[in-house]
Amino acid sequence: MTDQHDPDSNPSDDLQIEDTTRSVREQLKDAVDQRDVEKIEALLEPLPLSGKMRQLLNLSQDDRDLLLEVVNAELAADLVEEAPFEAATEMVERMEASRAAEIFEELDSDLQADLIGDLDDDEAEAILSRLDPEDAADVRRLVTYDDDTAGGLMVAESFSFPDTATVGAVLRSMVSDDDDFERYRGQHPYVVDADRHPVGVVSLRGLLTAKRSDKLTTIMTPPITVDADLSLDDLQDLFDGNNFLGLPVVDSTGRLAGVVSRSAVDGAALERSESESLKRQGVVGDEVRAMPLWIRSRRRLAWLSANIVLNIIAASVISAYEETLAAVIAIAVFLPMVSDMSGCSGNQAVGVTMRELSLGIVQPKDAFRVWLKEVSVGMINGLALGVLIGFVAFIWKGNPFLGLVIGLALAINTVIAVSIGGVVPLLLKRLKQDPAAASGPLLTTITDMAGFFLVLSLATLMMPLLLS
């Protein structure tokens, strides 16, 4: 057993392997340099999927390409499947089309279509032309659907039978050695008419109690189908409310187009949640550190540059009050504090609204109700924080009016911040903008400006008292 001593506190085999990772890493590098395919496979096979991925991503770009070129197609497909989508696209892009086609044969039609959709047209065509024509046709069809819709999440392969088929035909297909059956996992046998309109679904119970010569039409029940353009949110709702493992998807003409599985929906929801969380931190796309430096740098910089402009706008408020600042220099100490604390309060409100949006329990038109609820929290917390920081300012400089200026500014700005933080994601959603990416920068700019303005204008008003 390769994996005896496990530092990472995990009981499973999976992590026991990690203890020897350093040497696995080195051994893998050597094996790749020597193009020792057997050694590479022997090193990777015992690792859990994430461990395989970790080893792959730790290799240099060239070694990574080489590894994916030489290992068996099944292992390469596992790696492409497990990789963050963008990294997976890059892996495929860098392969020969013939190799990519080999690997494609091991992938779900769903992932095939996602990858093809992201490649250059020439590369996509080169791969498609090497696939089984029927599979290629499926992919060409799937690629037309938007991501995060039933059409974008479904697989083209359906466990379907003509309405003339018998129970025996289904049972024979289930026990056949045909590998395809694995692809239908979670699917019920669907019955389609001559035009491929779904007309029924057959339960396992029905199959087992019927005679083999019975027509499927005698035991089927009407199918629940979903339209190809049904959104991820609605799909989540549908699967949450039912026990289905998969649902047949129909195109705009009502024909069976594929099957969307519960786990495809769950997976897409997880990906969306993670990508939104990243966007809120200013990471766009699914960056992993194995990507080329200049891509990572450029993407982060794009977001930072937009942000620095907003920062300059906010700071211009301070520059309008240089006289006040010069007179009471202590205020400069509190400016970043007031703006930062308000930003934090506002971000909490953004977080709760984003969550309620994703749970479907709040909608853009609920903005007013959300605002009312946030204002109450804002007043309590603003008061508490204002008193705290006001007291600190008073103690520090011995001037109660300085405390009053700072405390009052923070209290008011907290109410402003939670109001904006709670409502902005809803407004962005209504304007069909992406609330995950834009709420944060919008919020901080406004709360910075308001915070600077409140502190400095209150100080200007009370200047004689501050100087006494």
179, 289, 464, 468: which one contacts a copy of itself (CB under 8 A)?
A: 289
230, 409, 411, 458: which one contacts a copy of itself (CB under 8 A)?
A: 230
In angstroms, give the least distance from the CB of 153 to a copy of itself. Answer: 13
347, 399, 413, 447: which one contacts a copy of itself (CB under 8 A)?
A: 347
Angle between helices 109-118 and 85-93 (to 10 degrees): 70
DSSP character at residue 189: P
Q: Which of residues 391-430 bind a copy of itself (CB under 8 A)?
A: 392, 396
Work out whether 144 is an interface residue with a copy of itself (CB under 8 A). no
Radius of gyration of the chain (CA): 29
CA distance 106 to 81: 10
Work out whether 339 is an interface residue with a copy of itself (CB under 8 A). yes
CA distance 114 to 253: 23
Work out whether 352 is an interface residue with a copy of itself (CB under 8 A). yes
Q: What does the buried/exposed string (b/e) look like for 141-154 if buried means 16 or more CB atoms within 10 Å of the residue's CB?
A: bbbebeebbbbbbb
In angstroms, give the least distance from the CB of 403 to a copy of itself. Answer: 13
85, 300, 457, 460: which one contacts a copy of itself (CB under 8 A)?
A: 300
Residue with smaller CB distance to a copy of itself, 123 or 276: 276
Residue with smaller CB distance to a copy of itself, 96 or 240: 240
315, 408, 463, 465: which one contacts a copy of itself (CB under 8 A)?
A: 315
Please give the span between the terminal C-alpha atoms of the chain, in angstroms, as a whole number: 78
Which residue is listed with tokens 């395919």? 37
Residue with smaller CB distance to a copy of itself, 162 or 282: 282
Work out whether 311 is an interface residue with a copy of itself (CB under 8 A). yes
In angstroms, give the least distance from the CB of 108 to a copy of itself. Answer: 11
In angstroms, give the least distance from the CB of 135 to a copy of itself. Answer: 19
Work out whether 109 is an interface residue with a copy of itself (CB under 8 A). no
Q: Provide the 10 A C-beta neighbour count for residue 423.
A: 21
CA distance 45 to 205: 38
Work out whether 433 is an interface residue with a copy of itself (CB under 8 A). no
Q: Which of residues 155-174 bind a copy of itself (CB under 8 A)?
A: 171, 174
Work out whether 431 is an interface residue with a copy of itself (CB under 8 A). no
Work out whether 241 is an interface residue with a copy of itself (CB under 8 A). yes
305, 398, 464, 468: which one contacts a copy of itself (CB under 8 A)?
A: 305
72, 358, 433, 457: which one contacts a copy of itself (CB under 8 A)?
A: 358
CA distance 314 to 267: 40
Helix (H, G, I), strand (E, B) or coil at 172: helix
AA letter at 264: A
In angstroms, give the least distance from the CB of 348 to a copy of itself. Answer: 5
**Interface mask (CB under 8 A) for a copy of itself, residues 42-81, using x and -?**
------xxxx-xx--xx-------------------x---
Which of 26-34, 109-117, 132-140, 348-356 is the region at the interface with a copy of itself (rule: CB under 8 A)? 348-356
Helix (H, G, I), strand (E, B) or coil at 203: coil
Residue 454: closest CA among 312, 326, 337: 337
23, 42, 277, 461: which one contacts a copy of itself (CB under 8 A)?
A: 277
Work out whether 18 is an interface residue with a copy of itself (CB under 8 A). yes
Which residue is listed with tokens 């506190």? 9
Residue 158 phi/psi, 5° resolution?
-125, 150
Which of 65-73, 99-107, 139-147, 286-294 is the region at the interface with a copy of itself (rule: CB under 8 A)? 286-294
Give the total of residues touching a copy of itself (CB under 8 A): 140
CA distance 154 to 63: 34
Q: Which of residues 185-214 bind a copy of itself (CB under 8 A)?
A: 185-186, 199, 204-205, 208-209
Q: Provide the 10 A C-beta neighbour count for residue 240.
A: 10
Which of 95-103, 116-124, 131-139, 241-249 is the region at the interface with a copy of itself (rule: CB under 8 A)? 241-249
3 state SS for 351-367: HHHHHHHHHCCCCHHHH
Q: Pairing relation of β-strands 246-250 and 226-227?
A: parallel
- How far is residue 322 CA from its own chain's centroid? 44
Which of 30-38, 98-106, 109-117, 343-351 is the region at the interface with a copy of itself (rule: CB under 8 A)? 343-351
CA distance 155 to 112: 10
Q: Which of residues 252-271 bind a copy of itself (CB under 8 A)?
A: 262-263, 266-267, 269-270
Which of 65-73, 154-162, 314-322, 459-467 is the region at the interface with a copy of itself (rule: CB under 8 A)? 314-322
